[in-house]
Amino acid sequence: MNLSQIKSGQKAVVTKVHGDVFALKLFEMGVLPGEQVELENIAPFGDPIAIRVGESKLCLRLEDAAHIEIELSEWKD
C-alpha cells in the first residue's frame, strides 16, 4: 500500500520511500521509514493531501505520495 491510498483519518507507518532527491528531501523533512503518518486534510479538489508526521504538517501531491510505501496502523501511545 502507498500513501496516495490512505483514507481520511487513517494512520500508517512509513516502510519505504522511492526516488532519489525526493526521498532525501522527505527524510530531511522528517518523513522516515518507521515514522507514523496521519492523513489530516484533503485539498478541495481531491489533491494534494496534507499529512501529519511527528510535529510537522506537510502537503504533497498524490502522484508523489504514491512513491511512499506505508502500512496501516494505530497510534502506539
Partner 1 sequence: MERLITVALVGNPNCGKTSLFNALTGLNQKVSNFPGTTVEKKMGQTMLTDKVKLQIIDLPGTYSLYPKSADELVTYEILRNKSETNFPDLVIFIADASNLKRNLLLYTQVCDLGVPSILALNMMDVAERRGIEYRLPDLEQALGVKVVPINARKRTGITELKQELINHLPQSHVSYFNLNRLNQDMLLELSAATDKRNHYAALQYSINAKDFITEKSARIKGIFDRYQFNIRQFLEDEVFERYHLIDEAVKASRVKPKDNLRKSLTKKVDAILTHRFYGIGIFLLLMFLIFQAVFSWSTYPMDLVEMGFSLLTEYVKTTLPAGVLNDLLVQGILAGLSGVIVFLPQIIVLFFFIAILEDIGYMARVGFIMDKVMRPFGMNGKSIVPLIGGMACAVPSIMASRSIENKRERLITILVIPLMSCSARLPVYALLISMFIPDTAVWGPFNIHGLVLMFMYLIGFIAALLSAWVFKNFIKQNNQQNYFLMELPGYKMPLASNLLITLYEKAGAFVFGAGKIIIAVSVILWVLASTGPKDKMNAVTLKYQTEMARMSDAEKNEAIIGGITLKQNADFLEASYAGQFGKFIEPAIRPLGFDWKIGIALLTSLAAREVFVGTMSTIYSVSGADDNLDSIREAMQREQNPHTQKPTYTLATVFSLLIFYAFALQCMSTVAIVKKETGGTKWALIQFIYLTVLAYGSSFFIYQIFG
Residue ranges binding partner 1 (CB under 8 A): 20-30, 32, 40-48, 50, 52, 54-61, 64
Q: Is the peptide bond before 48 cis (omega within 30 degrees of 0)?
A: yes
47: amino acid identity, one letter: D
User: To the nearest whole angstrom, how small is the minimum distance from the Cβ of residue 77 to partner 1?
Assistant: 9
Encoded amino acid at 16, one letter: K
Q: How far apart are the first and last CA of the chain?
A: 23
Kindly state the smallest distance separating residue 10's Cβ from partner 1, in Å: 14
Report the chain's C-alpha Rg in angstroms. 11
Nearer to partner 1 (CB atom), residue 2 or residue 48: 48
Q: How far is the CB of 60 from partner 1 (least distance, A)?
A: 5
